[in-house]
């Protein structure tokens, strides 16, 4: 087990608050020495929000949350990177921060996610219902290129490999034509939400090569650095996963799944075998403490009635960081969380939103399912989940202001202590820490 190594993933359906936790760990360990922040999956579909010291909240998509700290930031091989969006994110960091920019290293083997992919995803979404789970950022088509053996790597972009880009554009012209669309005129989203056409072959290649030119100083073969720094205990390693285990194509509810490996196993592949996730000392799943949220078409067994759901949605600002879509709200589901923890090889829990409680409303959580009168377990299958009936247990709420002002575990209300202990026993995993409010200093380590 490697010391000073921490990995954080979403323990449910995404948007659990991983970015804040990663940022706090990077800040803490950055004061002690060298820190590597490693992102190994996803692309511009990820959305993590970080609150700065001045209270300003900033949402990022491809850059890891530790970008505002003095760290070495790695965008790994398992990612699909949109060059234009990434340049915009880097520019926004430069505008906000008054300190030296962190070292950004992009694995040359990371796959490029381009406007052609976004156009194809949009056309496919119109063609079939299977695209309903997509964010419109072209993530699945970019990953599909890998499986179909014609990916464009970031090294192709920075080396201005025009032949590869021409073949790519020709292929996607044919694909969209088959779906009844014209690639050149197809509108695609930018990072700021505006829509632009993909453009002609010449315009697309020129734009992509210009983006590659600007990113060239970041793109490199990172193999030797990762091998050396992983063996060096002076480096703290912090891994930030995108999305969540409940969105993994293997463990999620179709069609609301993503295309990348959302578990810690993805770190092994992205690092080309250098980093075994089981050697990471803390492998934490981040979950919301008193409820769950979900974006997409999936229907969860514990979906909450809208009166309470709407209250939570507004108080906790439950809207997607990338899509801005309002999230569905559900009661905490122990069978689902236990399943995700098992398949995700989790050894710690991080609880967020411990302050989302109401004095007039009991905390209601699902502790099991029945089907046809018999106890059953969780399965990631929508048809199956529509047939199960949740078994609920209610817990007494705690005082919101009291927990928000708590500085250490002994300060929190007794009702909150009992609740945390119950979750640990029910899921079978110890809580590492929990948040008691939206501010950076409202985090308490479990004792």
Among residues 23, 40, 48, 268, the one annotated as catalytic is 48
For the record, the structure tokens of 216 come out as: 């060239």
Query: What contacts 24+ positions apart, CB below 8 Å, involve 142-151?
Result: 142/43, 142/80, 142/111, 142/112, 142/113, 142/114, 142/117, 142/259, 143/80, 143/111, 143/259, 143/260, 144/259, 145/111, 145/117, 146/111, 151/111, 151/112
Q: How far apart are CA 316 and CA 299, in angstroms?
A: 21
CB 364 within 8 A of CB 392: yes
Report DSSP letters for 72-124, one per residue.
EEEE-TTBEE-HHHHHHHHHHHHHH--SPPPEEEEETTSEE--HHHHHHHHHH
Contacts of 166 (CB under 8 A, 6+ apart): 201, 205
Whether the upstream peptide bond of residue 255 has omega within 30° of 0, thus cis, is yes
- What b/e string do you get for 191-223 counting C-beta neighbours within 10 Å, with b at 16 or more? beeeeebbbebeebbebbbebbeebbebbbebe
State phi, psi for 437 to the nearest 5 degrees.
180, 175
For the record, the structure tokens of 89 come out as: 């994110």
Nearest to residue 330, comparing CAs of 11, 46, 9, 13? 13
Contacts of 157 (CB under 8 A, 6+ apart): 83, 112, 208, 209, 211, 212, 215, 219
Q: How far apart are CA 115 and CA 165, in angstroms?
A: 12
Q: How far apart are CA 47 and CA 40, in angstroms?
A: 14
CA gyration radius, the chain: 22
**Known catalytic residue at 15:** yes
CB 256 within 8 A of CB 293: no
Contacts of 54 (CB under 8 A, 6+ apart): none
Give Cα 242 to chain centroid, integer Å: 3
Catalytic annotation, residues: 15, 48
């Amino acid at each position: 087990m490697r010391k000073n190594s921490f990995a954080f993933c979403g323990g449910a359906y995404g948007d659990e608050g991983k970015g804040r936790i990663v940022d706090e760990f990077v800040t803490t360990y950055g004061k002690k020495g060298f820190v590597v922040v490693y992102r190994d999956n996803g692309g511009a579909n990820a959305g993590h929000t970080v609150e700065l010291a001045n209270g300003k909240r900033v949402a990022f998509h491809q850059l890891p949350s530790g970008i505002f700290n003095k760290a070495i930031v790695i965008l790994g091989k398992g990612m699909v990177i949109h060059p234009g969006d990434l340049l915009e994110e880097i520019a926004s960091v430069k505008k906000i921060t008054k300190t030296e920019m962190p070292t950004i290293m992009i694995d040359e083997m990371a796959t490029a996610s381009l406007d052609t992919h976004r156009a194809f995803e949009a056309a496919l979404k119109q063609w079939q219902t299977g695209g309903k789970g997509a964010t419109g950022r072209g993530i699945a088509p970019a990953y599909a290129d890998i499986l179909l053996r014609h990916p464009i790597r970031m090294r192709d972009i920075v080396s201005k490999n025009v032949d590869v880009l021409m073949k790519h554009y020709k292929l996607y012209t044919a694909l969209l034509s088959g779906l009844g669309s014209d690639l050149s005129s197809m509108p695609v989203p930018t990072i700021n939400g505006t829509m632009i056409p993909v453009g002609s072959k010449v315009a697309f290649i020129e734009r992509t090569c210009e983006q590659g030119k600007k990113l060239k100083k970041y793109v490199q073969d990172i193999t030797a650095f990762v091998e050396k720094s992983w063996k060096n205990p002076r480096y703290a390693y912090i891994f930030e996963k995108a999305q969540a285990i409940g969105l993994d194509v293997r463990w999620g509810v179709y069609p609301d799944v993503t295309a990348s490996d959302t578990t810690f196993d993805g770190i092994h592949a992205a690092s080309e075998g250098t980093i075994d996730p089981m050697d990471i000392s803390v492998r934490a799943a981040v979950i919301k403490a008193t409820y769950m949220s979900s974006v997409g078409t999936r229907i969860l067994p514990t979906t909450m009635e809208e009166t309470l759901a709407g209250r939570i949605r507004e108080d906790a600002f439950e809207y997607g960081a990338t899509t801005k879509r309002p999230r569905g709200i559900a009661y905490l589901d122990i069978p689902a969380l236990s399943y995700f923890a098992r398949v995700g090889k989790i050894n710690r829990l991080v609880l967020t939103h411990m302050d989302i409680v109401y004095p007039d409303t009991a905390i209601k959580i699902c502790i099991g399912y029945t089907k046809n009168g018999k106890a059953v377990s969780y399965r990631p299958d929508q048809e199956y989940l529509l047939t199960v009936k949740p078994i609920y247990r209610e817990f007494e709420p705690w005082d919101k202001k009291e927990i928000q002002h708590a500085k250490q575990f002994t300060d929190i209300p007794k009702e909150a202590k009992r609740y945390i202990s119950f979750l640990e026993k029910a899921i079978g995993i110890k809580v590492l820490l929990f948040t008691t409010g939206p501010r950076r200093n409202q985090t308490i380590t479990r004792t």
